[in-house]
Amino acid sequence: MLDYQFPTLDSKSKDFTITMPLAGKNKTAHADSINRSGWRLRLPDQPPVLEDSRLLEYRHPSERWLLVLALALIAMLVIGGLLRRDKDILFAGVAIYLSMLVTSIQAKTYYRLQGAEVTPTQFPAIYKIVEELRQRFRAPVTRVFVLRKVRFQADAFGLAPPYAIVLPHVLIDSLDLDELRYVLGQALGHICFGHTRIAVLMGGEEASLPAILSWVAWVRDLIFAGYWRAELLSGDRAGILACEGVAKAIRAQLKISVGTDQVAGIRGEDLIEQAFKVSHGLTRLQAILIRWRSPTPPLIPRLEAMVEWAGLPPSTQL
């Protein structure tokens, strides 16, 4: 059990309390740690009832309109190019897009050649989790490959079954089996939500592209950054569902972001204080700009989004 606790809701009161271990004694702080002037942690009145059959309902609400907005911006740029009759630029853009499209389509086969497949006899414990989650999520046939790769995210690929999930070795080394449910749930969630098909049609994720094309993906991701973030938050919700609760999901995300050995030193109250500090003055503006250009949500906003949707975990589960 980790030596940190998040705020919990007292069953006999509507006040939130923070229970923290301190020199063998409990220290309690009032609700002002999660409700302060200009900022508060927006918790659900009633956390969602987690049901596997409702997975698609858990899609992040901003995901679709952010995709439409980004596509509209791309369409405006294309129309602007046509009106200016810059044929060379348009042809170059089309050629780059087609090369990215072909590369992204080949990603599934590439990783099948590079990694070791998870099977009933090879990584059997992971195979059991994948098959359990696939049945629970009613996901299509999916192959999982373990690859030596320094990337703290399980990537999903494919336009049609069998889909592929790449599980980097660093995740297996950093997380226990219960926590691997979180990252595998994220990846299967992306498949069920249709994210892998959208990624292919948009030229693939930067991680699947060669270095010569990754700079183009970086420019594209400035436009689609909002959509990518919403997509990842949808995946986080699938990961919470896979863990059957937010506690293990938060623990896994903290290990991924901070470190396996370091997570024992984390205190929920300090994370809340950190979230409060980046919501004021110039720091707030800088945080907005950082989030705007990043396709991956930073840790603090990501944890906020998790508890704002699923509620705070009971401290006894952490």
> Under the phi-then-psi rule, with left for phi > 0, alpha for psi from -120 to 50, and beta for the rest, what region is 164?
beta
Q: Specify the pTM.
A: 0.80
**Closest Cα to residue 229, out of 287, 292, 183, 295?**
295
Confidence at residue 278, expressed as pLDDT on a 0 to 100 scale: 77
Q: What is the pLDDT of residue 203?
A: 64
pLDDT in tens, the chain (318 residues): 333 344 443 333 333 333 333 333 333 333 444 666 556 677 888 888 899 999 999 999 999 999 999 888 878 877 776 777 666 666 766 666 666 667 667 777 888 888 899 999 999 999 999 999 999 999 999 999 999 988 889 999 888 899 999 999 999 999 999 999 999 999 999 999 999 988 877 766 655 555 555 566 667 777 888 898 999 999 999 999 999 999 999 999 999 999 999 988 888 778 878 877 777 777 777 777 777 778 788 898 899 999 999 988 875 445
Kind of pairing between the strands at 16-22 and 142-147: unpaired
Confidence at residue 88, expressed as pLDDT on a 0 to 100 scale: 65
Neighbours of 14 (CB within 10 A): 7
Omega before residue 168 within 30° of 0, cis: no
Q: Diameter of the chain by CA atoms? A: 72
Tokens of 300: 């603090």
Residues 6+ apart with CB under 8 A from 29: 17, 18, 20, 269
Q: Do 300 and 278 form a contact (C-beta atoms < 8 A)?
A: yes
Query: Residues 254, 307: contact at Cβ < 8 Å?
Result: no
- Looking at residue 110, its pLDDT comes to 83
Which pLDDT value is given to residue 214? Answer: 59
SS3 content of the chain, % helix, strand, coil (to 5): 60, 10, 30
